[in-house]
Amino acid sequence: MVSSTSAPPPSNAASSETLDVGGWQVVVTDGHAVLPKGMTHLPDGTFQLRTSLVSVAFPRSLASIGDGAFYRCTSLVSVDLPASLTSIRPHAFRGCSSLAHVTFPAGLTSIGDNAYNGCTSLASVTFPAGLTSIGVYAFCGCPSMTRVTVPTTLTSIGHGAFRDCPLTRVTVVVADGHAVLPEGMTHLPDLAFFERATLVSVACPSSLVSIGDRAFDRCTSLASIDLPAGPTSIGKHAFDRCCSLVSIDLPAGLTSISRGAFFGCSALASVTSPAGLTSIGSCAFYGCSALANVTFPAGLVSIGDYAFDGCSALANVTFPAGLTSIGSSAFLHCSSLTSVTLPAGLTSIGSCAFYGCSALANVTFPAGLTSIGEQAFYRCLSLTSVTFPAGLTSIGSSAFNACSSLSSVTVPTTATIGFGAFPLATTVLRLPPATMRWYEAVDGALAYKRCRPLLYGWLERAQTSLGSYGPDGAARQRDLEEFEGDFGLLVE
């Protein structure tokens, strides 16, 4: 409860007013208020909408400022917060549009929701080392605020805490290797933590939408980072040689991984890719020697040059149907890779794409593949057989050279074969594409004949009540006649 008493002053006298604030007498003279000694809490709404208030002097005893205490005090230009203050409640200084500067005391631990929302003249703040929480929208709508200094003691930064603040400089205090980025930050600049070898962890705000080039380059102790859903891009070499980083969940909004983003992250064992990812840049996971499994999203269309070069633990990859491009040396020296099924949409394989994949024993090529680059499967020592599609038009130099287990191959006569494409000991049979397709049809017919008894048995069990595939069923007889008519000469 706030009440006031005042007497009309002489024309040349100062304007004075005494307020009853929860039993305390507060004198306001010409817009300057002095709070009494011994007061520990400034009640809710004490000076709300008092547009003539210019400044406030606080007692050393004050520990907290109540909800909306200075709400829309539009002439308030300065406050000298006491060292004893530990808490600023929600809306405390909301709408104080003339407030240009605030110095927070060392003992302050919390700033409430909307506490400085709409303080349009506030240009910069430095938070104390002991601050643990900043409420939602605490500094929202402060268009003059371009600089903040954030301590690592913060455990909670509310949603939109710095919304609509055009932050150009954020000073992050790193204590014991732990950094907390402020809510409201949208872009982490290039080289933000470059070569900071003592950095262990980073907490990112939900407002973050991009990470700059080399932002964490050579942060060799960085073990964890919690990326929010918002970022759509991760800069070039952003996590280059972060050799303590074990796992990372890529943001849901990410559409591409830039060149060298995780280059040399030798401890990185698992990566969770978002559904919207469409491209993986060159050298993106180069030298990630602990990376054992990668699951690509359905929308991925390209894998860049050297993207997984040196991922020696990578044993399994599943390519999405829409993948159209695998770059040069993309899986170079992936020595644990055992089997690859290339997607239907792939038309070319880059040079050295699977060079030195010594455990690779099985490769399935799509029907639409037209070219295989130079040294694409060079030194794949475990590869025993390959079946080329009839539409293949070129096989690059040394494409399958040093594949010592490859005894024979059949290549369409329309395909050019580069120098040393196969080992000297490998028998190369050339056939016209039409003949190769005929053989494919024969293989399919033989496979059908071998599985036909099992197929009929399944149909009998599944549809016996209808009688259509019973021993004398009409559908069974019809399909039998069609099969014999189409393939009888091939399989008898």
- Do β-strands 16-21 and 2-5 pair in parallel, antiparallel, or remain unpaired? antiparallel
Residue 466 has pLDDT above 50, yes or no: no
- The domain limits of the chain are 1-91, 436-491
What confidence score (pLDDT) does residue 295 get?
83
Percent of the chain at pLDDT > 70 equals 85
Would you state the pLDDT for residue 185? Answer: 76
pLDDT higher than threshold 90 for residue 149: no
pLDDT confidence of residue 361? 96
- The residues that bridge with 431 in the sheet, in sequence order, are 412
Is the model's pLDDT at 99 over the cut of 90? yes
434's enclosing H/E stretch is helix 433-463
Query: Residue 203: what residue type?
Result: A
CA distance 207 to 198: 25
pLDDT score at 423: 96
Residues 6+ apart with CB under 8 A from 111: 88, 131, 133, 134, 135, 138
Is residue 335 scored above 90 in pLDDT?
A: yes
Pull the structure tokens for residue 162: 């710095």
Q: Which is higher by pLDDT, 301 or 205?
A: 301
* Structure-model confidence comparison of residues 309 and 437, the more confident one: 309
- Assess whether pLDDT exceeds 90 at residue 48: yes
The per-residue pLDDT for 12 is 54
Q: How confident is the model at residue 189 (pLDDT cuts 50, 70, 90)?
A: confident
Q: Is the pLDDT of residue 492 over 50?
A: no
At residue 67, does pLDDT exceed 90?
yes
Contact 1, 24 (CB under 8 A): no
d(CA 204, CA 21): 42
pTM of the full predicted structure? 0.66
pLDDT at 397 over 90: yes
Question: What's the pLDDT score for residue 490?
Answer: 45
**Worst-scoring range by mean pLDDT, 37-46, 171-180, 228-237?**
171-180
What are the tens digits of pLDDT across the range 208-265?
Answer: 888 989 999 999 999 988 899 999 889 999 999 999 999 998 999 999 999 999 999 9
- Model confidence at 415, pLDDT cuts 50, 70, 90, reads very high
Q: What is the mean pLDDT of the chain?
A: 86
